[in-house]
């Protein structure tokens, strides 16, 4: 199977060793290639930061924290229970 173009969503799971790279270099690369949505998930902080590509850069459009169940703009139908993200 051949897939052309970038994915709609990239999800990075943060760790102390990768957080700086995930927030900087990787975000720049994904933006350059046109990935529409970028999520940063912090299992320790139980957060999900949702970013959307706007004008060539990512803009944070939502932050979810704690054991909440959230519906994101990228996938408005299914719910994601952050309390189960480990």
Percent of the chain that is helix, strand, coil (3-state, to 5): 20, 35, 45
CA-to-CA distance for 82 and 15, rounded, in angstroms? 16
Which has the closest alpha carbon to 50: 12, 5, 7? Answer: 12
Report pLDDT digits (tens) over 38-73: 999 888 888 889 999 999 999 999 998 887 887 777
Query: How high is the pLDDT of residue 85?
Result: 65
Query: How high is the pLDDT of residue 40?
Result: 93
Give, in order, the Cα–Cα distances in Å from 3 to each of 6, 33, 52, 76, 82.
9, 14, 22, 24, 30
Q: Which class in CATH covers the domain with range 9-84?
A: alpha beta
Q: Map out the domains of the chain as residue ranges.
A: 9-84
């Amino acid at each position: 199977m051949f897939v052309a173009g970038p994915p709609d969503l990239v999800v990075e799971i943060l760790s102390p060793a990768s957080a700086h790279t995930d927030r900087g270099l990787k975000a720049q690369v994904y933006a350059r290639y046109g990935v529409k949505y970028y999520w940063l998930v912090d299992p320790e902080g139980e957060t999900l930061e949702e970013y959307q590509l706007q004008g060539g850069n990512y803009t944070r459009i939502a932050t979810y924290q704690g054991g909440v169940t959230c519906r994101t703009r990228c996938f408005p139908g299914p719910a994601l229970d952050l309390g189960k993200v480990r």
